[in-house]
Structure formats: structure tokens, C-alpha cells
Structure 1
Amino acid sequence: MGKLKVLVIILITLLILPNQTEAGKYRAKGWLYTSLLDLGYGAGYWYRDYLSHPGVYFTSGGIAKIAFGLPPPFGFGIGTELIKFISGTYYSDAIKFPLDIYYIPYAKFNRLGHPLPIVYADFSISPWSTYRKYLTAIIGIDWQIWYLLNLGFRAGWVSVSYDYDYEFQIFYFGVNLGLSLWQGLGVREKERKVSPKPEVIAEIPKITSPSPITKPPKLTFDYSLVDGNQDKVLDGGERVSLKVTVKNQGEGDAQGVKVLLSGESKALNYLGKEKYIGDIPADGEKEAVFEAILPYRIEPDNANLIIKVTEANGFDALKEAELLIAMQPAKVEREREVISVLVDVDQPLSPTSFRREDAYAVIIGISDYRSNKIPKVKYAKRDAETVKEYLINLCGIPQENIISLTDEKATLSDLTAYIEEWLQRNVNKNSFVFVYFAGHGTPNPEKGDAYLVPYDGEPGFISKLYPLSRFYNSLENLPTENIIVALDACFSGAGGRSVIEEGKRPFISPKIEKVGKKAAVLTASAGDEISQDLDAKRHGLFTYYILKGLRGGADLDSDGWVTLGELYNYCQPKVKEESRRLGYTQTPKVFPEPLGEKANLKIGKIR
């Protein structure tokens, strides 16, 4: 029998120890207890009325148990079981579905979530019985030695009464073994607290009991402050260095010398408050350097710093230095890049009820040319796109009746097809026609002729250009007389929205006024002037004021309509005045001049 006990103890030890090494390294967010069968065996004390029986044996346990609760030390939980029973020498009993209330103050979980051990208290009552009152209290400690096997010790108390006239109590203590599982929920490894080891910069020697000093030291010091730009102002981002030179002018050695910085300033947070420089022999000296790179963002301050020098035996320097130094944050340079800006003429339009079903427009805007010899026209494409929106919303031209040719879509063949063929095919005698061109113009220096430069055009090759005279003749062949042309280009060859063949003389005055009888032409400048962009508004100068006029600025008589005469009378002085302010002269022109009856031709309705 003795050998059997030793074997059981060895077996239990072998089962517990492998997992015990990890116990306590993990914690859980809750716990769960499930049991198929739980058996306990022990000795106890049975008491009824005035009769008692010490030393009796009891078997206790439960079948099909489940419980769950909070993690220790707040480990309250609740559970139930199919049957709880107790059997002894003088009494046996069982109840079904008792209400179990648990409290778990302590548990050490391993990596698998098994507690090794777990301390618990279990209180049970029989709320469903009407004639028998059953109450138990158990305090125990369990080890989850395997997945469905736990071993422990428990002490219990049982109280049973039948209609309150038959009562007995049982006290017992013993061991228990169960096909059960204590399981931690949400198990994770505990955070390890590692105390950092302080770095020893310089060890201050211990001062032993002082012996009589017959040759005392005498400490003095000098200091110097160096900042990055040497303006004696501590700027954010600068490297600052305060050097204190301590001299011993006495007859004896100075021991445990320190240089202290104090005062009311945030500079102390960066420079530090103390430097230990150790012993200084007689007639010797040492340096302490307080150094830092200041953050860019520091509070403006007048730094107040006080320098003191102390000695371990009390022979401190008899002088202190107080410094007042200006501090200021680093200067921030703001770079401004205009990505986009909403210009007044670019704000969304409110469409009017005005609509011309029999109206047609060709809109041309060329910013990028195929030839790299031709400069870009910065806002020409943007001008054309904005003019199109105005023609739809304010001038009543149906969107399907507008041809828009921009950049690579505005080749010489495209201009020829839509100006000479598409308009001729659609326009009748009652039609309204609007043609707009934004891009480069160029002159012929020998003959004085003017040309529009298409996307694939190139000055010096007449066959690749679109003659202005041909353009006017095409419009003259249309059956209607309600034709308006706006040219935001120039033909002088002197720059701006004009180009010329290399080696040719600029400032040509080409023939741009021979427009015929049917079309009224608004040009951005006179023949010998240049047409420029208005960078502040991101449009050509001429186009900007055309748009502003159509938006309502040109409605000089406030009747809600903008006529051709009103648009020119508004645009011409505005462009001229703004160009002079910018340092050049640009004067819009209108042909024929005077306009005569064409001045009353209605272009747009603003309300």
C-alpha cells in the first residue's frame, strides 16, 4: 500500500511539473469551468440536533457542471450542474440544478490557459425545491494537470433542512479528482517590466570623514556662450554651447567639483542643470560644457541662467554669474504655390432662359503646339473652354451646335473643315454665328499678310498656316450677316500671342482690318501691338474682359442684354488701362469701324 501511494505522488508530480514552469506568465480576461464528473473524498463531522459523529467519511461531487466568470482578483462567476451530491456514513442526498456562485481570488495561468493552481470558493443553493432547503459552501484549490483532469483539495460545509423542522449540518475536508477543465479566456502573456540600468557617466567619489584641511582650495570660473550664428540670441534649431572654465587658485586640491545651472528658463530643459568635473588640483583648471541643439519650435523667452560652482568639502566658488539671454523660435519660411484659384469669371454660371436654336459656334484654343519652336500660349485652351460655357449659358447657343477645337484637335485641316465646310453646311440667313480663336498669330513680313497658326503650323511655311484673309472670305460666303469673331491673338511678331520666323524683323503692322461686310471682328490688340496673358486671373487679358463683360459688366444700359457695341465699349478701355498698369500697351480693336447697325447685335442675356 505504501508503494502505491509513492507511485501516485510521482505520477501527479510528473503531470504537474511540465506546465508549472509557465504558470503565472500569462493572464486571462475571464475563466470557464466545465466538468463531466467531479468526485471528492474525505473525513468530516456530522451534526444533527444534539447528536454529533466526528471522524465519519464522505464522498461529494457533481455531474455535468458549467460555470464562467471574471478574471482574478475580481473573479466572481455563476454556474449550475445537473446533479450535486454528498454521501456519507449517516447521510446521502442529491439536488438537481443548484445555483452556484463562484469567487476566484487567485489563479496562475500557463500558456494553454490552464490554472496551476486556482483558488476558488463555491456557494450553492437549491432555489427550485419547495420543501427542502439545501445550502453548501466549498473552499478549494485545484491544479489543472491535464486537459480534462484536475486534482485538488477542498473543505466544505453542508446544511440541509426539511420544512425547517429537520436539520443537520456536515463539515468535511478531503481531496478531489475530476474529469474537468478550468480554462482561462483571452489568455495573453503578461508584459515584462524591465528596469533600465542607469548609464554611469562619471562616478562621484565617496567622501570619507574629513581630515583637517590646512591648505584650502580657491575656486573661480569664467564662462563663454557660443550660438550658431553668433548673434547672442538663442534661435530654434541652433547648436548652443555654454562653456564654464573652473580654476583652482588655492594651495590645496578641490574635490568633487560641480557646475550648476539654475534659473527660470526652459533653456534648462535643453542644456541640463549639472555637470560634474571631479577634482581640481592646486593651480589646475577644468571645463564643463553645457551643449544642446534647440528645437525649432520653442517659446519666445528671456532665458535667465545662474551659474554656480560647488566643492564637496564646502569650498564653493564665491562668485555666481547670472545671464539673461533672448530665446526665439526658428523663422518659418512660407512658400506659396498657386495650384488653382477660383477667378471671378470662372465661377459657375446660372443659365438664363435665353436660347438660340439656330446659332452655331466654332471655338479654337491652342496652348501647346506640335513644333517645339513655337512657345506655349499659357491660357489659350482654358480661354476656349470657358468661352464655350458662356456661349451655352448666356448666349443661348445649343451645346450640340458648338465645335470646340483645342491643341492637337486644332490642326490646319480641322480649321479648314469646320470653318469652311461645317458652317457653310448648317448656317442659314437667320442664323447667329460666333467664332473664337485663342493662340498664336503670325505676319508675313514681305507682304504684310496675317495668318492664324494652327496646332501643326510653323512660321516660315505659308502652306502650314491659315491665312486671315481666307478666314474672312469663308465667313463672307455664309448666308447670314449675324456673325461675330473674337481673336485673342496678335500678328505683330513681337511676342505675346504672336510668333515670327527666325531672323525676321518683328513689329509688323499686318492687314487685319479687311473683314468684309458680314462679320464684325473684335481683336485683342492693334496690328502693331502684342496680346498678353493676365496671370493673376489665369486668362488672356482680352478674353478675361470679354468674359467679364458677357457676365454683366458690359450691360451699360442695365436692360439685361449685352450687345456687340456694349461689349466693345466695356472691353476696350479696361484692357488698355490694365495693360498700361502692367507695363505695356494693348488696345483692342473692332472691325468694321464704326460698327453701325451691328453695334445693336445682341450677344448674350444676363437675366
Structure 2
Amino acid sequence: MSIQHSGIRRQAAFGVVVALAVLCAGCIGSKRSGGSSGSDTAAIPLTPSLWLSPSISTAVIPYKDACGQPAVFSVADPLVEAVPRKLNRVFHGVTPQFGLEQRVTAAGVIEVGLGLKHIDLVIPRHIQGAYPVSVTLGAEMVFLAEDGKTLFAKKLQSVGRGEVTVTDQSCEVRGLEPIVQEAVDAVTEGLAKQVAASVRVREYAEQQKTRIPTAASLSTQQAGIASSASVTGGVQANRVAPPAGGPAASSRLQATTLTFHAIVRDESQDHMLQQGESLTIEVEVKNEGQAEAEGVEVLIGGEGALTEHFPQSVAIGDVQPGEIKRTSVTNRVMDLKDATQGELVLSVRSLTPLASLPSAKKFIFQVKPEKGDSGAIVSDVDRLPKPLAASKQTRTVVIAIGVGRFRDERVPTVKYADRDAEVTAAYLRAIGGIPGDRVHVLVDKFALKADLAETFDEWLPKRVDAETVVYVYFAGRALVDGTSGAVSLVPYDGTIASPNRLYPVRHIQEVLARLPIQRAIMMFEVSLDPSPGADPGTTPQADWGDGAEDDRDDVMWMVGNRNLQEAHAYEQGKHGLFTYYLLRGLQGLADVDRDGTVVAGELCTYVRGEVIHAAREQFGNAQRPLCSPPPGQGAVVRIHPMAKGNNPKPPAQAKKAEPSADAPVQAPKPVDMGPKP
């Protein structure tokens, strides 16, 4: 049976590539004036990327045939055909993506996954005749903006009904195809209508209309020197069209592609500025194209007094194809007495036309109040949320561990780790009405390796049964094995030099696999380092999602950082960045579909989008949280209720005026989001 199932998966995966390539080859970028799926609404003027979860590309539904033997029905092909077909009526087109990771483009990305799938069919005896059958499919769709922010998320379930026939000549069940197709059409049509009606997606599409066409498109305009400017975050990035003048001129100004990375470091490295502190801008520019990039410059702009301390541009010079050039500038920051924050926006321009304009990078620093200033910042997430229900969750268990300081002073500290653990435990207890003797908190010197072992090997097993939900939260530091990707936590008495002083995550997975629990939710705010002696460039990705047993759907992982890097601390919120948005989500903001309940899948999707956006806007680099199972997989654990929803729809009369085409787009500030006290 396992061999048959594997073969169907391989055939389905191959069919996905062929079907998507055929379906979408002619629809990318096409203009459509018709309505969205089944309605008179105008098509959304976007061509987003379409990423189908492996739960769709390998989708099969198990059932029993007329002889009572296990069988499977593949729904991969119908879903792969229906999803882009429905969405092409909603948008101007969709662009398929292949692979396990989606890439967010300016037009956004649509993620679609399959959750519940069930065939309800009972054939008591192998007797010729007709039998009623129902096919149930549940799907989930998410729309992400270019900055990773979630603009739309919806879960739908549809049922197809009909009759199948069997004969006394074989075990085959005939007639399933049209019933499955009915369920597929219903659920995909429903999702298409929902995204077509999304106000946030349509507003995003209108904002994208103000983007200036790339320099590659300028080559089709009238010859001669021309210039255009796009305003991104307050910085103008000029692109010059190639002039007429023969082959030499056109070759010299052939369009090329530039990418750049930027880091802005304050002297104390706490993302808080104070009078007299030095600030360093480091920029790396790479020519990814085939032509030389002439006269490359880094533009420095933004808002507030911080921009006055730096030149408006820094010359990089000419950059050859494949070449990387770096530059840095350091200045001491003064005259910030009346400022509350500083902002820098960095972008790149070149005399050579650019095939695409690199996105500007925004950095925001809070200004430390001077001594004697009473304007202390108070976190807006430390007010506990309302209970999820009137009844208490007397079978639930919470384990919260926060290790920010270590006995070995060579181990880097993790800011707010102890505070994160204490507040998260208080949140979960308040939401579920969990008795105090079922909440176990370990912080700093009380989180020795022996304490962790005692907690999972002795304390936890005494408090669980088949109805128990286990919450495990950890904030601190972890190491990733350079060969296997296995993750080990660093306890208070741990050290980064010896693996014997670490606590393996695998042991937690094995404990949970042995215990008779209902489900477990794992929430980890971690800074990840390679194991001693491992090469960061060859270290595999951290292994979180694979539990001690394969194919488990009762454990969900929400990990704040999937790569080897420091997890960001959000100074204004006085929490780790991932934990800050985790708490915001538990306050109710993660109730994306506004049904009154925040479920685990919604919470992780919300946190992931907010962290990606905030890391890019405030710190200038990526931090990508992990949600495992992803959308469309592990439906049972993804719909586990986590908190009470508190995400009211904005009043119609409060709609803001549309920004002008040349107005800078302001990034949302995390402190201003969410329910007000």
C-alpha cells in the first residue's frame, strides 16, 4: 500500500509541473476586462505569483473500494487545473512558482494549500448497485504583499455529493470523478470570490499602479536621453534611457541588473540612538547583469533629523558584470534632543539603465530619552488578553523557558528572553484559565540542563492524558548541527564549545511522541548559531518540523527564525520581535477572517508576515519565521483555537484618502497596530 501511495504522489507531482506550465504559459501578464470569478467585479490589476503547497501537488484521498480494500483517489490534477483557472478570472493573470519556497514579488504571492480531504462512502457488501457518496475538501488561501505582510487569509470547506456504482465483476468504484470535481470547483470558486472581494488586496493593487515602469521598458520609447524617477521611502532613484547614437552607445548603455544589501549599525548595537553615538552605514552592491553598470551611487534619504548627518549620495563607481563593491560611511549623531526616532532610507541608482529597480531599504531607530526624561516607553502587549471561553482549560499544560544570560560569559546574551517567557506564560494562562500548577516557567539560572530534563522527563508526563494540549515556549539561543541540521538549546549552564552541555530539541520531540496528548503547540524565539567547527555556509537548515515520528499532524511549530542569525529584539515593545507579534496575535489581531477565534494556523501566518515586514523595514535584513505544518497540511492542529479574536472591521466612513502618485509610502509602525487599551 505504501508503494502504491508513493507512486501516485510522484505521478501527481509530475502532472503539477506540466499542468501549470500549460495553463499559465499564455496567461501571464494578460489584460482582462471581465469580472472576477462569477461576478461583475472588475479584475484586480495585478499579476501575482501562485505557489501551490505540496499538500495540493501530492493530494490523494483515501477510501475503501467495493471489496473493502484501501484505495486512494488523486485530486492533484483537478486542483492544479482549477486554482489558476479561477484566479485568472480574478486577477490580470497569475505566475506559477515551482519549488518548496515561495518568492514574493511586487505583485504579491498567493499561497494555496489543501487541508481536510475525506470521502464518505459505505459499501456494506460487495453487491452490484448504486451507493451515495460525499466528498469533502477544505482549502486555505493566503495573499502576501511584496513586504511579506498578509493582506488576505481564508479557509473554506466544500462538499460534492452524488452516487457511485459498483459491479459484481470487480472491486472498482465508478463515478467518483464528477463528484470530486464538484467539490474542487466549489472550494476553488469560493476562495476566488473571497479574494476578489478583499478590500485590502484591491487597495494594494491600486498602490502598485503608482510604480514607475522599469528601465527595460524605456527601451521601447522614443530614442534619446530621458530620465524617470521613482519615489520609494522618500528617496529618488533615477534611471536613464539608452540614447540613440549607433551600436557603441547602445552597447555601452545596455540595461543591467543591480542588487544591494545594507546594514546600519549603531555604536551600542541596541537599535536605540543617543546623543553623540556613532552610526555606520555599510552597503554591498553586486552587478547581476551582463553589462557594466556605470556611475553607481547609494542614495541616502528618509525623514527627520537623522538624514542631516549623512550625505545625500555616496559614490560606488563603475561595477563590472559579476563584480561586488562595498562602501561604508560613519558619522556621529548629534542634535537629537527633540526627536523620538530617526529614519534612513537607502537606494541605488546608476547611469546605466536598470532592468529592474532594487527595492529601497528603510531603517528606523528609536531615540533614547536623556537622563531625567520621564517619557519611559511602556510595552503595549503586557496587558493580558481576555479568556477564550467561559470554561477553564483544566487539562492544558504550559512550559515556558527563557534563557537570556548564561553562566559562561562567552555565550552571547539574548535580550528580553526571560521577560518573553514570563509574559507568554501569563498570556496562555489568562486565555485558557489554566490552573497555576499546570504552568511551569524556567528562566536564566533556574533553567539548567538538569532543570529542562526534569521538566520534560518527570514533570510533564505526570500531567497529561488523551485530552491534554501542551504549549511549549522557548526564548534564547540554540545551535544547529553542521551535518544533520539537528537543533540543540543552550541552557543556563550550557556552552557553545561543548555539545554535552546542550539540550537537544529531538529529546522534546521524542517525549511528546511517547505521551498520550491531544496536540502540542511549539513556539520558539531563538538566535541560531552553527555548532562548533561547522561551516556556516554548508550548515543545513535547522530541522524543526520533523518530529520523532514522521507524518504527525498533532504538533505545530512556530519558530521565529529559520536561518543562522540573531533574532531581532524589538526595543520599543521590550520583547523579542517574534514574541512581540506572537503576543499581538494572541490579543486578537491574528483573527484574519474575523470569525471571533484565533486559530493556530492564523496566528503563525499573522506573526510570520509581521516579522518579515518589520525586520525589513526596521533592521534592513530578513528574519523569516517558520510555520510547520504549512498552509494546507496538518489541518487538525492548524485549526486549534488559541485565543479570542479582536480584529474589528474598520468603519466605512473612516476610509482614508488615496495617496498621491509621488507620495512616499510609509511603513506601518508596530506600536500603532492592534487593539487600543
Q: Above 0.5 in TM-score?
A: no
**Greater Rg over alpha carbons, structure:** 1
- TM-score for both structures, normalised by structure 1: 0.42
- TM-score for both structures, normalised by structure 2: 0.38
Q: Which structure carries more strand by proportion?
A: 1
Q: Which structure carries more helix by proportion?
A: 2
Taking CA–CA contacts closer than 8 Å with sequence separation of 6 or more, which of the two structures ends up with the larger relative contact order? Answer: 2
